[in-house]
Chain A
């Protein structure tokens, strides 16, 4: 099969083509590796690519597909994994100098689930260091560029995964979403990204940033791929205490074009000050399209939105400050040279091993947890979280989902964001509530700005309501494509 045709396929289409013997896993892998050859130097989506292993596995999987040993909707499909998700025997750096040479002895449960389904790992994608950042510019191994326009950032922290999908350097990718890290780069790169309900995908093997907020999620070309991948990676895992047994059946069953009678709420708070006109227009248009398709769409007041960002950064930083304590030069990873004593080793190792943004969040997190400030910051943030929970819970009594933008603007230019961290944090305003409350949310393309940069539409659902989101997103994707 012609490789350029292959590369245009979605993951589901590719798997079908392989099943129908129109192509093979080996051929698909070759196509991806050739594409990497062509574009990786420019975009820099990956931290690690293991061509040999990928080709070997493709051959093996192809055999197993032919013998019928491996079947299923992702058999033979090349996948890219964010570099904070452990892969046994394959370097997992978190884009940090601290873990530059760290090779895990085990794979994350999500990766095992994918491999069991016959997906083949190409390599590990670039990201903001330890998933802290919104542009993939805090990576210790260089920036990733947006395949839609290489002068712009791909978003972050799963920027490498989003760029790899958008550039055809993989068929789909895994990312992790702590405050929007899957949805935001998906929006900037014009693809589909989903954050499942907290507990749906095992966190075992996901290097922790903010443990109560982190969820692994798919970055895909289509909503259908997203449902298929989610169905594959979601599993109850006894190794993760926060894992949840989901028993409502297949996510792919929701791939139906129908929003008749669906109640969709658009928070006025998400359309107000700070939102660029072009993004607002695209989102409002998207809401209109869904209304024409039969959904009941109305605006409402969500409230408390301004408190979400400070509460989020307080909780995320607090957890991060503790989660990152294990990187001390003692057991693995980077260790500073020429140290006199233990404490100097800690200080130098961490001063040299971590980048600026990581250090900023460690300091912020240590501060909000320290005695005398715990109540004023950390506990207050937990109270805000509880209040937000009530607000959203009331909202979901009235609506099947919340519709709004993913980001206030389209992708910023490379090199412009890190100068003003507060501004960067504030741009997470539409995505973080889903993490604070464990809600599922999806980001799907809904237009482009005057520069041709993609705009994302976000749908947020109540806990365990992925199927509603998938159904609405799938419907929107169909109408949007027809209209284009």
Chain B
């Protein structure tokens, strides 16, 4: 390959908003209900039913717009996107085409120390569709409208990215902002964040952009990265072979790691968009904007600066803890309860992250209370339990947020600090391990370790290893 190519990528990111009720009716947005149990005449498209905008949806959309430096459009509106498909009960989707609620924003991504600005073309609100379930046995298709009308925002970027790394960095940044806002949990796997990749290639330095394709069905960062690589290579191979890229929508096959054409430009439907006459124009007053602004949280950069000022923990720790607002909140609350910042940070960065990784969970899934973490740390400090026991207790706490004090009490895990009891065990250990005793006395330090281990074993771990160590030395002198 003599020629060099540049990749041009823009993203369309759908984010399911964390509202209790749907965008145009009062039905629950809870995931996993019995099919069609979260429906009403509005979200099943019954004749005579009418949509009414859920104010929370607008608040979330505006909050995301503000966090991504968008212009908030003061007079926006909903449009109908008309297309026939059974997952769409009205056969039109209520969306925003002509006047989206936010536009012309940007966010910064950082990679290897350099910062790049990625433009955001617009953010618009729309309703999700229902789910089709194909029953192979009965050879029929069933519809579940529970998801129909769940609120979404679509964040459309400018074509400002040129690699999978930038795409991932952009998505990570978006995810973090949106999660900080509490506007969504942004889970790719579960579909609360859906990413479509628009990609084209052009010869390096060429002024004209190449023909782009749109890639759908990307359910993980891994898929996104892989799909970008494959699509870039596919397009370059086409061009190298003297062919042309056709404008089309492609679908990524996660297991085969290839994509195939879903529909080409010729099949592009005419959606006959027009303003939805059932919904009044959205007018955003200064007062509303102020309310949303006032509720914006402290985002990561400010939070990191404040942590540097307020807490005596390494910058590395600050970076990790503030990646998640939930984790940062737990950190702050635990410290506020009297725990030493570095101790709290250690529990979060080591044990917590290890368990999260094991269980393939997000920091948002942490459910133990700061009070219990503070208690656990205090118990270690006060030498009521040793660190091994503390880790055991923490695992249980992570699962079910048990009160560590009660748990330790109930399970009898308190350290035995009573000298006479310990002395008795030690005497037994010394008597049973004469060889090791002799080795130690002959200057083999390691033999002491063995004896301490034996003692801990006999004490079922409930002893303070430091105290055992000290007492053993005294007794062997």
Q: Which residues of A contact B (CB under 8 A)?
A: 85-86, 92, 94, 99, 102, 104-106, 108, 203-208, 210-212, 238-242, 318-319, 321-322, 325-326, 328, 330-332, 342-343, 346, 366, 369-371, 374, 378
Contact = CB atoms under 8 A, between A and B. Distances in A.
A332 B91 CA distance: 13
Contact of A326 (B50, B89, B277): B89
24 contacts: A85-B48, A104-B46, A105-B41, A203-B50, A204-B50, A205-B48, A208-B278, A211-B278, A241-B51, A241-B52, A241-B53, A241-B278, A241-B280, A321-B82, A322-B80, A322-B82, A325-B82, A325-B84, A325-B91, A326-B89, A331-B143, A332-B46, A369-B274, A371-B270
Contacts of A206: 48
B359 interface: no
A207 B48 CA distance: 4
Which among B47, B270, B273 has the highest number of chain A CB atoms within 10 Å? B47
B270 A331 contact: no
Nearest to A210: B277
The 3 A-B pairs with the shortest beta carbon distances in the complex, nearest first, are A325-B91, A369-B272, A211-B277
Which among B50, B80, B86, B273 has the highest number of chain A CB atoms within 10 Å? B50
Contacts of B41: 105-106
B278 A318 contact: no
B43 to A, nearest CB: 11
A256 B91 CA distance: 49
B406 to A, nearest CB: 49
Nearest to A372: B270
Which among A99, A206, A328, A342 has the highest number of chain B CB atoms within 10 Å? A328
A240 B24 CA distance: 11
A331 B89 contact: yes
B106 interface: no
Nearest to B280: A241
Nearest to A213: B277
B279 to A, nearest CB: 5
Contact of A370 (B89, B90, B270): B270
Given A322-B272, A378-B274, A328 B84 contact: yes
B50 A370 contact: no
Contacts of A205: 48-49
A104 B48 CA distance: 9
A241 B55 CA distance: 12
Given A241-B50, A330-B86, A370 B280 contact: no
Contacts of A242: 277-278, 280
Contacts of B277: 210-212, 242, 319
Contacts of A212: 277
B135 to A, nearest CB: 15
Contacts, number: 95
Interface string B303-317: 000000000000000
A80 B87 CA distance: 36
Contact of B47 (A86, A241, A328): A86
Interface of A is mostly: loop
A465 B279 CA distance: 24
Contacts of A94: 47
A326 B91 contact: yes
A331 B278 contact: no
Nearest to B274: A369
A238 B91 CA distance: 24
A246 B272 CA distance: 35
B47 A104 contact: yes
B44 interface: yes
B453 interface: no
Contacts of A203: 50
Contacts of A207: 47-48
A92 B91 CA distance: 21
B81 to A, nearest CB: 10
Contacts of B46: 104-106, 331-332
Interface in B324-376: none
B23 to A, nearest CB: 12
B92 A322 contact: yes
B203 to A, nearest CB: 32
Contacts of A106: 41, 46, 48
A364 to B, nearest CB: 12
A326 B88 CA distance: 9
B91 A241 contact: no
Given A211-B277, A322-B82, A369-B272, A86 B143 contact: no
B159 interface: no
Given A342-B86, A369-B272, A204 B49 contact: yes
Contacts of A86: 47-48
A102 B274 contact: no
A325 B44 contact: no
B45 interface: yes
B143 A366 contact: no
Contact of A204 (B48, B143, B279): B48
Nearest to B91: A325
Contacts of A330: 86, 143
Nearest to B271: A371
A317 to B, nearest CB: 11
B21 to A, nearest CB: 14
Given A203-B50, A325-B91, 14 more contacts: A104-B48, A105-B41, A206-B48, A208-B47, A210-B277, A238-B52, A241-B280, A242-B280, A326-B90, A326-B91, A331-B143, A369-B272, A369-B274, A371-B270
Given A104-B47, A239-B50, A239-B52, A328 B274 contact: no
A325 B92 contact: yes
Interface string B40-71: 01001111111111000000000000000000
Nearest to B90: A326
B280 to A, nearest CB: 5
Given A105-B46, A241-B280, A328 B91 contact: yes
Contacts of A240: 50, 52
B274 A322 contact: yes
Contacts of B90: 325-326
A346 B50 CA distance: 23
Contacts of B274: 318-319, 322, 369, 374, 378
A92 B52 CA distance: 23
Interface string B282-315: 0000000000000000000000000000000000
Nearest to A105: B41
Interface in B26-49: 41, 44-49
